[in-house]
Structure 1
Amino acid sequence: MTIVREAGEAGEAEGREYWLLGTAHVSRESVVAVEETIRQGGIDHVVVEIDHQRYQSVTQKRDWSQLDIFQILRKGQAFLLLSNLVLASFQRRMGAGTGVTPGEEMIAAVKAASEVGIGSTFGDRPVTATLRRAWAKTGFWGRNKLLASMVAAAFSREKVSEEDLAKLREQNELESMLQELSDYLPQVKEVLIDERDRYLARSISEAPGRRVLAVVGAGHVPGIARTLEGLRAGTVRVSKAELEEIPPPGALRRVLPYAVPLLVGALILWGFFRGGLEGGLQSLVRWILVNGTLSAAGAAAALAHPLTILLAFAAAPITSMNPTVGVGLVTGLVEAFLRKPRVADFERLNDDIVSLRGFYRNRLTRILLVFLLSSVGSSIGTFIALPLLFG
């Protein structure tokens, strides 16, 4: 338990206290510690590291039947949905090893606070804002690195025990893991950890009462404590509204979708000028074969419908030249049309996302895999084809 104290105001003998209780999100020991801390008394208010949307998703079984996969694809939200599902898969697998539902200690905190007659606050940033900011701040390859890491973790067969979770709550172990995340995906670490540290600290400082208990993941405790100290000293400023804003794309991200097609087009035209009709056609064929083949290979790896695979080959060289339409949108929509998700797919979704086999078996998640892998294949094909066009 980390305690941050504020000096008392004029006329007050004691200032406010913020009790930061670090937990492991799938640990039975954490659930017990939270309940005991609240029920022992002396707490005026409880802040939990969860937002209202996630609290509802944890306490109420989500009805996936209302999900419109066509709209998800058209609105460009397939990456976000896939990330959500992979994250849910990871959390369920972690919980299966300890018999604890992910976030159960947060539910226990809200329930215990209600039982002893004190208020509670959902202190975390909305998960949609967090994911959108992470997506906006991470480039295409960074997104795929993040998804690859999440998929590897979600489908790992490694068992998680209470002893493992106890190690995760140790400061040295946490600092090492956070440093690894910072080295591998610095933008993601900034959004998922650092920004939420500040957001949670602001929520805690705004909570009523003299003694506030904050139930947060152990990895957030040091950052929250530093931010609370900074807020107290006036050296740190935190705006929740700013932390919920989706940053606009940077100059490179705005230019690149147009620059690459222009470069490809220029190189193909250069092939005609340099080598005549034969040279130009050779450049064009190289572009089509490399880009189309790798996109089709990605679709095939997702076990897409044969027509979807053929369309990936045909569409990728064209969509790669159009910054407004990606091949994943085309293949995803076609796969969704050819293999519409059934009622059973929605009913089994919570169970299917726990295993890689389930991801492939479920038509809904397979559509997302088709979207992702055909897009990755086309992107790789673009960068492989570019130097070949110089030849």
Structure 2
Amino acid sequence: MSNLRETNNITLLGTAHVSKESVKEVEELILKKQPKYICIELDKQRYDNLVNDEQWKNTDIVSVIKNKQFPGLVMQVIIASVQKKFSLTTNSEPAGEFKKAIELAKQTNAEIILIDRNIKITLNRIWRKLTLFNKVDIITSFIFGSDDTELTENSIQDIMKDDVMELAFSSFKEKLPIIHKVLVEERDEYMANNILELTTNEEVVVIIGKAHLNGIFNKVKNNSNTHNNAELDIIPNKTLGTKLANWSFSILIIGLLIASFVFGDYNVGMDQLKQWILWNSSLAAIFTLLARGSFISAIVAFLTAPIGAISPALSVGIFVAFSEAIVKKPTVNDMANIFEDTSSIKTILNNKFLKIIVLFFVSSLGGAIGNIIGGSQLIKNLFF
């Protein structure tokens, strides 16, 4: 096999996550080596989802939003959707090689070792390193991106060389190299560290995506890594520049409102405040209704838009997404049809989960436009 690498008692196999051929290669290798340990490119969460589909499908999105895990879940959906797309194209089962490895581990009494980093940490590290414009670009490209590209045999072979998570963001490789660093390079180190911790003379078989094969092999062979896993598990704090950018417009609005009371009088200040709230709240509510949000969600948008404008940590989009999730109560079952449902605006809005994503961004956009118009009116009334 051209995708095999061996060093001492450790054999690494690079696979494609949507390939029948990789499933056969995994079976042949494990039956030949009869390893004591089988390391696979999964973390506990993805392992549980793989062996228990119902657990994933019945996830309560309300609790996900409440626990501030919504951005990570959105990115997981993008990855799962891309994986599903190519599994359909190649007529194979997503992550079939991992399922085969788990099945053979039970038959041969081998121990499964989960070597990958928690997917939430990986995605949170990416999310924290992206700017607001980067995030909007990724989400809108996923929801409204074209799917007209024909998949030829050669293009499929190129795809097989990629990591599924990296593949989901492949169009951003050039302008966002941080995605490749976090998805591939960091995880190479993380998985190599976990393999090296297996201080044993027993046979070890490692099943990983082709994108990680050479990187992990070189680190394992040379016993060399730059970071330990504790360092790679840290979610970076927001930079000072990001914090200032998030709060700059809020500080400006607050300053203008205070100035209205100081340099005008109470009545002038109240008129300015009412006018700003009306623009901010009304547009957030109108945009929510235009995206077919519920009447309750529109009311929530109206009431919380000023809060989101003054406090970036409490975005109107989060309030609207949370209220819509409570009213419609979607589960990850809706995500099973995401790939098919991104074909048109109508199907997007009929999918409960996709609709929540749209409402999150659309209500935030309405509030932002209202904030800009309202802020402009404050300046005009105060200085002109």
Range into which the TM-score falls when normalised by the shorter chain: 0.7 to 0.9
Match of 2:77 in 1: 85
Q: Residues of 2 paired with 1:179 and 1:109: CA distance?
A: 27
Task: Give 1:298 shift.
Answer: 4.3
Q: Is the 8 A contact 1:311 1:331 kept in 2?
A: yes
Structure 1 counterpart SS, 2:249: helix
Instruction: Tell me the residue number matched to 1:135.
Output: 127
| Within-5 A mapping of 1:51-200 | 51-63=43-55, 67-151=59-143, 156=147, 158=149, 160=151, 163-169=154-160, 181-200=172-191
Partner of 2:215: 223
Q: Percent identity over the alignment? A: 27
1:238 is matched by which residue type in structure 2?
H
Q: CA deviation at 1:26?
A: 1.0
Residue of 338, 343, 353 corresponding to 2:338: 353
SS of 1:62 mapped into structure 2: helix
Distance apart, 1:27 and its partner CA: 1.4
Q: Mapping of 1:333-348 within 5 angstroms?
A: 333-337=322-326, 339-341=327-329, 346=331, 348=333
State the match for 1:11 in structure 2.
none
Q: Distance in 1 between matches of 2:152 and 2:316?
A: 42
Could you state the TM-score of these two structures normalised by the residue count of structure 1?
A: 0.77
Change (3 A) 1:94 1:287: farther
Residue identity matched to 2:291: A
Match of 1:265 in 2: 254
Identify if the C-alpha distance between structure 1 residues 168 and 331 changes in structure 2 by more than 3 Å, giving closer, same or farther.
closer
Which AA in structure 1 matches 2:138? L
Q: Secondary structure at the match of 1:40?
A: helix
Aligned-residue CA RMSD (Å): 3.9
Q: 1:191 to 1:383 in 2, by over 3 A?
A: farther
Q: What letter is aligned with 1:312?
A: A
Tell me the equivalent position of 1:243. Answer: 232
CA distance in 1, matches of 2:57, 2:178: 34
Gapped runs of 5+ residues in structure 2?
none
Given that 1:45 and 1:209 are in contact with CA atoms closer than 8 Å, whether structure 2 keeps it comes out as no
Alpha-carbon distance in structure 2 between the residues aligned to 1:352 and 1:374 = 24
Q: Is 1:319–1:326's contact at 8 Å kept on the other side of the alignment?
A: yes
Give the number of aligned pairs. 372
Aligned to 1:202: 193
CA distance in 2, matches of 1:53, 1:170: 24
Deviation at 1:261, TM superposition (A): 1.1
Q: How does 1:284-295 map to 2 (within 5 A)?
A: 287-288=276-277, 291-292=280-281, 295=284
- Going from structure 1 to structure 2, the CA distance change for 1:23 and 1:295 (only over 3 Å counts) comes to farther
Matched, 1:304 2:293: yes
Deviation string 1:251-285 (CA, Å, 9 cap, x unpaired) is: 23344444331112224555777899999799768
The change in CA–CA distance for 1:39 and 1:71 in structure 2 (over 3 A counts) is closer
* C-alpha deviation, 1:188, in angstroms: 2.6
| Alignment partner of 1:319 is 2:308 | yes
1:106 to 1:63, Cα distance in 2 relative to 1, 3 A: closer
- Distance, in Å, in 2 between the alignment partners of 1:146 and 1:178 is 8
1:252 aligns with 2:237: no
Kept in 2: contact 1:24–1:165 (CA 8 A): no
Show the counterpart of 1:23: 15
From 196, 204, 213, the equivalent of 2:205 is: 213
Structure 2 distance, partners of 1:384, 1:95, is 47
The Cα shift of 1:210 comes to 5.9
Number of the residue aligned with 1:33: 25
Paired with 1:376 and 1:227, the residues of 2 have a C-alpha distance of: 45
CA contact (8 A) 1:78 1:368 kept: no
- With the length of structure 2 as denominator, give the TM-score of the two structures: 0.78
Counterpart position of 1:328 = 317
Larger displacement relative to structure 2 (268-277 or 32-41): 268-277
Cα 1:389/1:212, change in 2 over 3 Å: farther
Give deviations 1:144-195, integer Å, cap 9, x for gaps. Answer: 2332344356x83556566533223459xxx999986443323332222221
| Residues in 1 aligned to 2:57 and 2:40: alpha-carbon distance in whole angstroms | 29
Judge conservation of contact 1:331–1:370 (CA < 8 Å) in 2.
yes
The answer (yes or no) to whether the contact 1:87–1:150 under 8 Å persists in 2 is no
- Tell me, in whole angstroms, the C-alpha distance in 2 between the residues paired with 1:161 and 1:34: 25
1: CA distance, partners of 2:156 / 2:66 = 40
1:268/1:284 contact within 8 Å kept: yes
Say which SS state the counterpart of residue 22 (structure 1) adopts: strand
Secondary structure, aligned partner of 1:184: coil
**TM-aligned CA distance change 1:106 to 1:304, over 3 Å:** same
In structure 2, distance between residues paired with 1:26 and 1:353? 18
Task: Determine the structure 1 residue equivalent to 2:364.
Answer: 375
Q: CA deviation at 1:376?
A: 4.1
